[in-house]
Amino acid sequence: MIHHGDTERRSKLLHERLTEQVIGAAIEVHRELGPGLMESACEEYLCPELHLRDLKFERQGFLRVSVPPW
């Protein structure tokens, strides 16, 4: 039987590994290209790096933001 705590631990480990991989990809791009590039240039190099790490991602996805009415 899987307990709720086990599920939480597995989820935390999965998120930690995913975070490690994404940050690692970003660091690799930064090492290769250096600082100061525009976001669009970084995106062009980060996407292939994420792909090499077998990470699924969406480029420039849509994000709905709610703004308070005041």
pLDDT at residue 68, as a whole number: 87
Whole-prediction pTM value? Answer: 0.71
Q: What is the pLDDT of residues 7-40, one digit of tens each?
A: 888 888 889 999 999 999 999 999 999 988 899 9
Please tell me the distance from the alpha carbon of residue 49 to that of residue 57, in angstroms, as a whole number: 11
Question: Residue 15 has which token pair?
Answer: 């998120």
Task: Report whether 59 contacts 39 (CB < 8 A).
Answer: no
pLDDT at residue 9, as a whole number: 87
Nearest to 20, CA basis, from 42, 50, 47 = 50
25 Cβ contact partners less than 8 Å away, ≥ 6 residues apart: 46, 49, 50, 52, 53, 55
Please tell me the distance from the alpha carbon of residue 67 to that of residue 70, in angstroms, as a whole number: 9
